[in-house]
Amino acid sequence: MNVIYVVANFLQFLLYAWVLYNTPILAMGIRRMVSATHKAEEKGAIQRNLPTVSIVVPVKDEEKVIGRLLKALLRLDYAPEKMEIIIVEDSSQDKTADICKRFRNQHPTSVKFFHRSTSNGKPSALNFGFKHAKGDIVAIFDADNIPETNVLMRAVKYFEDPAVAAVQGTTMTINAEENMLTKFISYEQAAWLKNYLQGKDALNLFVPLTGSCQFIRRDVLEKVGDWDESCLAEDLDMSAKITHCGFHIRYAPDIISWQEAPSSLTQLINQRIRWFRGYMEVANKYGRLLKRLEKRSLDTEITLIGPYVLTLFFVRYIISIYTSFFPVEYDFIFTTTSRLTLLLTTMTLLMAGVGLVYATKPRKTKNLLWLPFIYAYWSLQGLITSYSLLQVVFKRPKRWVKTDKTGRCTEILHR
């Protein structure tokens, strides 16, 4: 029997199962978005017994963006005595430290500034900041963010449910109109959060934290332990850890913060290599979740293996090219699974298209024209995940590649 034939059939079966599993999740997310279940609206009068909030900001070499973030944080619609801003500055080589010190001096009761002479990465900075945090809720924002003024008031509403351990807000692209790449990334981000994560939230499945605009109960952090300082995807590792300990993470479409997307292909590739390798390492680390026969634990591991599946897509693509030049014998099984995979992939693309139409305000039917680029983008992602997998297999040294921020803003923000 032809080896290529066997491998192709096996890959098609796996891809069929993957797409079939995720299709209802995506459909549920689109249904929620279309029905406007989570319309942005104020939640009544200001509460009297607000929890205290510690906002931790890890920062290094961010002179172009840190000032606007601190201004936005100081404008948040929240009781000043209930909020503290903790800046952990990691041995910056530019004017970042000077800018942070100026804000600390101007707002000594609200802003705490800590300089570290040695940079050990974002997870280490988060652990340092948490040790100095006093709030009931710990919020995390990256330096390039601009949160809307109501983020804390909306976040604490979710924590009124004692079952909620953490909340992931919605990050939107602040430089979407900079070029074609940033525009596409803004649509990708909208589809991932507003469609896919919203579907997971609706079905009570695993919702991963995404690194910024996230909120975690202090007592939960104390129970699950520190961020893993050796991990390239510390947010995902913390998400898996929280879920493994039996806690629940919610996705909040009405909590919005704006952030910068990579504006060059080189920046994007370097960023995604780090993300995908981090995903793979966390998937390997938390494979034990499969031992727990409950839907959220199983969905966690299925989500974590996403980059491996993208690698399979890429391998299947290579096999398709091979069979174009060196035909193999097709039978009923091969033909049927190929057609089913094509059908489900087409359905997924169409649902992604519907999601893109409703992800923007006002709705734009012309966003459907992005569908061919989505398919090409999947192929690029498959190539990147394959490279990340080789790094894991050959145990290449981990390298945190920082995505440089420009401070460009092309959106009109409503704050």
**How far is the C-alpha of 8 from the C-alpha of 312, rounded, in Å?**
10
**In this prediction, what percent of the chain has a pLDDT beyond 70?**
81
> Which three-class secondary structure state does DSSP give residue 264?
coil
Residue 70 has pLDDT above 50, yes or no: yes
Among candidate residues 120, 152, 121, the one with its CA nearest the CA of residue 137: 152
Instruction: Report the distance separating Cα 303 and Cα 207, nearest Å.
Output: 9
Closest by alpha carbon to 54, among 32, 35, 76? 76
Cut 0.75: pTM above it: yes
148 φ/ψ angles, rounded to the nearest 5 degrees: -70, 155
Residue 38 has pLDDT above 50, yes or no: no
Ranges of each domain in the chain: 3-33+295-393, 51-264
pLDDT tens-digit map of 173-204? 999 999 988 988 888 888 788 889 999 999 99
Q: For residue range 71-128, list pLDDT tens digits in order.
A: 999 999 999 999 999 999 999 999 999 999 999 999 999 999 999 998 888 999 999 9
Query: What is the largest distance, in Å, between two alpha-carbon atoms of the chain?
Result: 75
Q: Of all residues in the chain, what percent are helix, strand and coil, respectively (each to 5)? A: 55, 15, 35
Of the pLDDT bands very low, low, confident and very high (cuts 50, 70, 90), residue 390 is very high
* Four-residue CA torsion sign, 119, 388, 299, 341: positive
Phi-psi region of 173 (alpha: psi -120 to 50; beta: other; left: phi over 0): beta
Strand partners, 214: 140, 168
* CATH number of this structure's domain 51-264, picked from the four choices 3.50.50.60, 3.30.70.260, 3.40.50.720, 3.90.550.10: 3.90.550.10
Alpha helices of 287-361 — where are they, by DSSP H? 295-304, 306-325, 332-359
**Element at 272 (helix H, strand E):** helix 265-285
